[in-house]
A and B are shown apart, each in its own frame.
Chain A
Amino acid sequence: MGDPPPDPEPPSQPTSSSRNSQVSERRRSRERTRPLVPEELQQIPLDPQILRGSQEVLSNQSNLRGWPQRASLTPNENLVFQAEDPYVNPGFSAEVQPQAYLSEGRLQASHNASLMLPQLQQGEGNLFQQLESAYQGSPADLPGQFTMYQREDLPFSQGTQHGPYMRDDPTLQFSPSELGFMSFNMELPEPEPRELAVQNAKAYLLQTSVNSDLSLYEHLANLLTKILNQRPEDPLFLLESLNRTTQWEWFHPKLDTLRDDPEMQPTYEMAERQKALFGRSSSGEGEQEMEEETAETAVPNIMEKAFYFEQAGVGLSSDESFRVFMALKQLVEQQPIHTCRFWGKILGLSRSYLVAEVEFREGEEEAEEEEVEEMTEGGEGMEAHGEEEGDEDEDKATDVIPKPTWKPPPVIPKEDSRTGTNRYLYFVCNEPGRPWMRLPHVTPIQIVQARKIRKFFTGYLDAPVISYPPFPGNEANYLRAQIARISAATHISPLGFYQFGEEEGDEEEEGGAGRDSYEENPDFEGIPVLELVDSMANWVHHTQHILPQGRCTWVNPLQKTEEEEELGEEEEKADEGVEEVEQEVGPPLLTPLSEDAGNLRTSTSAGVTSTVLRTSTHPCQPPFSTSTPAARTL
């Protein structure tokens, strides 16, 4: 036990004035001691003497009105001083209240822990009276009531002397609700049951209501503050209406009738964000000009492309294109990017996505990939182990439940980075100015499922995709899968613009997978526009076709890896010879569009954009493809 406070006196005798002097004395005394939790506990045994007197009063109480509970608890009074500050925000008083409440709880805990709850409720009524009595105390303590941040274990050290300087104390930066649990657990070896009960009670009160952000705690604090400020004649009688008024005021902040409150409009915030875009770019440009004249930046010339698309009647407005250009520049600065291309914009219900197709420099992205793979492999190891244990248990049981012979289809591994569907990395952002977020690589099962469902995008990457058949992943995965499908279907170029390199091996050696890389043809001369429009044979796909399996290169799902062979040796023999999966083959790279499947209504067609003939074509310009109208690839 620590030093007892120098003035333990029975509460029943002193008058209010002397009581208050006692209180202030006690406070000062407690300030000298270290503000630790044990001190509070020590105070509990001390207080029972005082409290026992008040306990009787409490238990005898049937009518709580108008009782200026002189027999109130000194701890409560201390706290109450701070509670009734008229300038304290509801938020602050909420933080002050816990302390009053805590000690209230302690009071009853010392009495009988099992009767906690009903007594707590009674204690709420007590608070009214105690507040009143305390308020009649020295109003000179007003400065001491600017206790914005109070720790629960320092109720007695908030003294009058410290006043407004308490705010600067770094140890008091935490609000009680944050430290409420931590402080007790750190400094006490074992949280006592009453502490726990108190914490639970407080947590319950701090729950925010379903309909609003208001918690019962805060509401009570507001209500009590209001009552104390207004000091109505018969507060209990007016309690109902005061309750309503307080609730109403919470949601209708008082507006100044003389001055307009400038609203923080979302348009201002957006403008701020986009201003940052412009600022950075201008400083970046200055540096570049100094260093090199022709710097090869990965950022494409969006404005030029936007001009050509505009001629075709497609595209974003010029200022939005410019913002996109700025945002891509920002992306290139932030990430180690080798090539970058504006893939397009996908519209969503709440927000849209701007998509950038990006290739990293060699070796840059492997670090991130490894982390993800480790996690998935760890998961698979666990599952295999679980199967073994299951087998053993079943042998021992007398009634053997027949094992289902259905096995889930083998998981088809996703393609490596920089190959097939994962050839490019995609970054998305909602608006130019917002941070770019990287989309994960796509897995074959995601592509297969994405083919079956149609869902709008909401604009939030972590939104769940609720559909039937169920999609494995959230909106980020769904977006990535659709981007992969769109890219594979609609990226085309005029015949002859790209050609295969000469170093490719025979097609037979590669197992019929076909070539998967191409290079620009330096000898390409433009094809006349009329020919391009007339026949679809003049356009070719330059992205790999996605097989029904969900990959670009076929993988036999029955090929077991080494790990699986060790575990499932017995089962393998039964399966062999039953399932043989056919190799899936798709059209090779650079096939013309005239070979596309589908009837006339769903294939690609081209139209001349204007009556003025153009003599040259721009190779990056895909014509209007009707098979995927949901997005426009730029």
Chain B
Amino acid sequence: MDAESLLLALELASGSGQGLSPDRRASLLTSLMLVKRDYRFDRVLFWGRILGLVADYYIAQGVSEDQLAPRKTLYSLNCMEWSLLPPATKEMETQTSVVKGRFMGDPSHEYEHTELQKVNEGEKVFEEEVVVQIKEETRLVSVIDQIDKAVAVIPRGALFKTPFGPINVNRTFEGLSLSEAKKLSSYFHFREPVELKNKTLLEKAELDPSLDFMDSLEHDIPKGCSDFPEVHPSGSILEDNGQCSGNFSG
């Protein structure tokens, strides 16, 4: 949700029962402005909230000129002070995949995970229990990254690609018509394309290189995991991804 249209977007996404109290909203508006100024972002987006046992994390992402470039992620516990998170790497993902359960809410908390590791001592090989400590911050980073890769969705036509490379916001995009908005093919995964190269030449011939440079939602497995439950009275549609329920994109 763009910081500029935050209140409107929050209203639209409220159908799920998740919302923000008025004090949080007010503090978000103020602090996001400051973040934008300090980090010199082109746009600051309020990504959402991750619930923890003791406290909740509020996540924001800053976008520079190239829309598809990796974004900088910040988190805050009170919506006023924001801290930058390190970018996500593959090792983080494998490391944190063993941790299950809820977030604590304390960024310095460390999860302990005991692993059996084979240790070579001379000629003997025996297994030792090694306790691996995983920081909650790392886990936060990788979870945000996974959710983004799985669920971030953008309608077709909102971004376009120029021959120079950077991807820009399409200022003439007014939104999709109602009939188009219900089709899965008018939405793309907002990430580097994975399946685009695997398409046959025939399929590629129908695509427009300036608009269709990301994976469409049509070919997701399992089918129907991204579904559009209801049409809001104002005409907007909320997408609910079955894999990450609790993640909404307006």
Contacts and interface: CB of A to CB of B under 8 A. Distances in A.
Does A associate with B in a complex?
yes
Contacts of A312: 21
B11 interface: yes
Contacts of B22: 310-311
A310 B17 CA distance: 10
Nearest to B104: A601
Given A600-B53, A607-B55, A626-B53, A317 B19 contact: yes
B131 interface: no
B120 interface: no
Among B17, B178, B229, B235, residue most surrounded by chain A Cβ atoms (within 10 Å): B17
Nearest to A315: B19
Interface residues of A, number: 37
B230 A349 contact: no
A349 B17 contact: no
A632 B53 CA distance: 16
B231 A349 contact: no
B227 interface: yes
Interface size for chain B: under 10, 10 to 19, 20 to 34, or 35 or more residues? 20 to 34
B94 interface: no
Given A601-B53, A609-B21, A350 B229 contact: yes
Interface string B220-250: 0000100101110101000010100100000
Contacts of A320: 14-15
Given A349-B229, A350-B227, A352-B229, A317 B53 contact: no
A257 to B, nearest CB: 18
A404 interface: no
Interface in B31-61: 51, 53-55
B16 interface: yes
A459 B240 CA distance: 13
A266 interface: yes
Contacts of A459: 229
B204 interface: no
Interface stretch (A81-89, A137-145, A267-275, A575-583): A267-275
A267 B11 contact: no
Given A274-B233, A316-B14, A317-B11, A349 B240 contact: yes
28 contacts: A266-B231, A310-B19, A310-B21, A311-B22, A313-B18, A313-B19, A313-B21, A313-B24, A314-B17, A314-B18, A315-B14, A316-B14, A316-B17, A317-B15, A320-B14, A320-B15, A344-B17, A347-B229, A349-B224, A349-B242, A350-B229, A351-B229, A352-B15, A456-B245, A601-B102, A609-B21, A626-B53, A626-B102
Interface of B: 11, 14-24, 51, 53-55, 101-102, 178-179, 224, 227, 229-231, 233, 235, 240, 242, 245
5 tightest CB-CB pairs across the interface, nearest first? Answer: A317-B14, A313-B21, A632-B17, A317-B11, A311-B21
